[in-house]
Structure 1
């Protein structure tokens, strides 16, 4: 029988305790605290609304639309960003030539180009997918190029001394060395893609949970509004957990993850 890993159970228990404490504080503030009588619903009302919404087909359709936009845009950003990053990182000239444009574009939020994208693509799922792509691929390409560029030159030289060609060195030395950088970029981009997909519906009129939030806000249904927020938070936790699990599985050979398994 596999022994229980206490180093994993304790953080989970602390996280659950923190969530329960936050909900209790919310309930107290909305019922007997400074926010009593305000439009803010209590935690129990929001949880009840979330449970009721989970039993309705429109909520599941909106969730599916949001996930399709987020995952499709993230997948496209991962493919384009990793390939571009490998191409840039493999050439010092390209690395230095593209550093300023990429660093200039990296902090620009997708919401800045939202009006233009809505004008061109309309309030569609394609608009949301493109915004997710734009908000993710630059960071992924920067991280990927940094991982390729930082590959140990001694390892490259050793591969060349054993008669490896450039393609073999890239496949067997450079890319494995850059995988931790790429994994980190994808793990950070995964929850970000969900946020951008929601913003596409909330501000751009696209389908999904963002549009559901907008409709609840317009109708003044505060309980449903915060119920959807709770559902989004749970969805974000799920995506973050899956991305961390996938990173650990793909990089199980890396010293950082081997130490975590031993602990």
Structure 2
């Protein structure tokens, strides 16, 4: 399939990043969110990100302006009608994603590839919600999308070879490195990462060490570029909890139970960077 126009559903942190890298690669991008405010924030986020690339001489100003102009923003899913690929980047919630997939499938052609940026939810279950399930696939970008090179490509049980080949080939122009992963809770990235983050939260919850010292151990002792608690703040504590809940319920193993402190912080709205408070403060 010749992909020329890409739809991105969800104007949050991940959706705006995905829209940016697709536009930088020369694709026309249709960014959709039900909230006009979210779209405005996404536009500002992309503008700032492109400006940083210009400052670093990774792009010139004309390239940055052209990328921004390739992105159109809409509040109605009907704007996706002529896209050859739609990437869903909504909240990590099964019911929301399943409903969205059904609505997207109603407005695009039967040949349009339907991809999800889900970080833990079964692609096989998502594929079962639409006609032509062979066109459903997972494209799990890493955060921050414009910086991180990895894309996990997850085949649903129904995904056909043509869909997989098209998406794998697309990652090259996007400047990403594809890794093929079979459909399983959390895939590879979050099957490994989230239990580590959760265990770091347990260390804090049990008073073993402070936030700063837990992160220092992992940075200085394990050579991680960012500590697990700071990384949880970057990802969003609500997303971390959602992924842990998927692992726990799907794998039915108590080792994936979310730390009570993580649950309390999400209940309190202390979600990390996007909420100005998490394990660290971001009021400034």
Max Rg structure: 1
TM-score normalised to the size of structure 2? 0.25
More relative contact order in 1 or in 2 (CA 8 Å, sep 6+)? 1
Which structure: greater strand fraction? 2
TM-score normalised to the size of structure 1? 0.27
